[in-house]
Amino acid sequence: MNAKRNVTVAAVGVCLGALLIVSQTAGSNRGHQPFKLGGAWIMKFQGNPTTCMVTDAPDASGRRAAVSGTTVIGDPTLGGAFLEAQWQSPVMGEAVVTGWDRGAFTVVQYGLKPGAAGLPEIVYIIVDSGTFKEIGPGKTEHQHNAAVYLPFQDADGDGLPDEGQAPVACVPMTSLETRVSLLPPCTP
């Protein structure tokens, strides 16, 4: 009886060991480590000229990061829907790794116009949430769902639309990001 049990335990051990080797080999065939957040990125949207420069500041795990950025080429009027908007605020938010090569994000940005006493006034609030996938070393593809809200939809004044508010528009977009890495200097 003990011999049968030992053979069964040994067989299970061999199967688990083989599974571990196969799974580790499959992971190592990717040629790199699991995706970690961090670094400086250039984001280009497909189908329009919008370009952003984004920085991910990761926590110690590299699996969660504060995101900040600036739209360097873009239309603050959102295609003429908000003609009074003259510029956009910086982008800020959070990203998290959800798998070996993918993650999720939410960022917020405001459309702005000159207001009273020279202070900016919010024209719209964009809450852009979506997912991303690593498509190569230093390259990611992002699927966005940009929800647009009006200022009165933030009645409590915390900078985000209040719970239960429906966006006035929800725009799906795709962007590609390229990590800015060290490059050799030019030769004068």
Q: What is the CATH number of the domain that holds 146?
A: 2.40.128.30
Q: How many residues does the chain have?
A: 188
Give the residue-averaged pLDDT of 35-50: 93
185 belongs to a structural domain? no
Question: Residue 27's pLDDT is what?
Answer: 45
Query: What SS3 state is found at 1?
Result: coil
Note whether 9 and 74 are same-domain residues. no
Same domain? For 3 and 85 the reply is no
In a domain, 187, yes or no: no
- Same domain flag for 133 and 167: yes
For the cut 90, the answer to whether the pLDDT of residue 35 exceeds it is no
Residue 9 lies in a domain: yes
**In a domain? residue 81:** yes
Q: Please tell me whether residues 147 and 90 are part of one structural domain.
A: yes
Q: Which of 90, 104, 85 is nearest to 151 (CA)?
A: 85
pLDDT digits (tens, 9 = 90+) for 152-185: 999 999 999 999 999 999 999 999 999 999 999 9
Q: How large is the average pLDDT for residues 47-57?
A: 94
Q: Which token pair is 1?
A: 């009886």
Residue 150 domain flag: yes
Are both 64 and 139 inside the same structural domain?
yes
Q: In whole angstroms, what is the distance from residue 124 CA to residue 78 CA?
A: 10
Residues 6+ apart with CB under 8 A from 170: 145, 146, 147, 148
Residue 188 within any structural domain of the chain? no
Q: Examine the domain organization and report whether 132 and 151 are in the same domain.
A: yes
Same domain, 20 and 59: no
Quote the domain boundaries for residue 5: 1-31
> Average pLDDT of 71-100?
96
Question: What average pLDDT score do residues 23-40 get?
Answer: 64
Q: Are both 67 and 145 inside the same structural domain?
A: yes
Would you call 51 exposed, middle or buried from its count of C-beta atoms within 10 A (0-12, 13-18, 19+)? middle
DSSP state of 187: P
Counted domains in the chain: 2
The model carries a pTM of 0.81
pLDDT score for 88: 97
Lowest average pLDDT, out of 10-24, 63-77, 86-100, 158-172, goes to 10-24
pLDDT in the model for residue 108: 98
Q: Is residue 101 part of a domain?
A: yes
Shared domain for 51 and 121, answered yes or no, is: yes
Q: For residue 51, give Cα distances in angstroms to 62, 67, 159.
A: 25, 16, 24
Q: What does the alpha-carbon distance between residue 82 and residue 91 come to, in Å, rounded to a whole number?
A: 18
In a domain, 82, yes or no: yes
pLDDT 10s digits, 117-134:
889 999 999 999 999 999
**R_g of the chain, CA atoms, integer Å:** 23
Q: What is the mean pLDDT of residues 27-36?
A: 63
Do both 68 and 148 map to the same domain?
yes
In terms of domains, do 26 and 97 share one? no
**Co-location of 1 and 92 in the same domain:** no
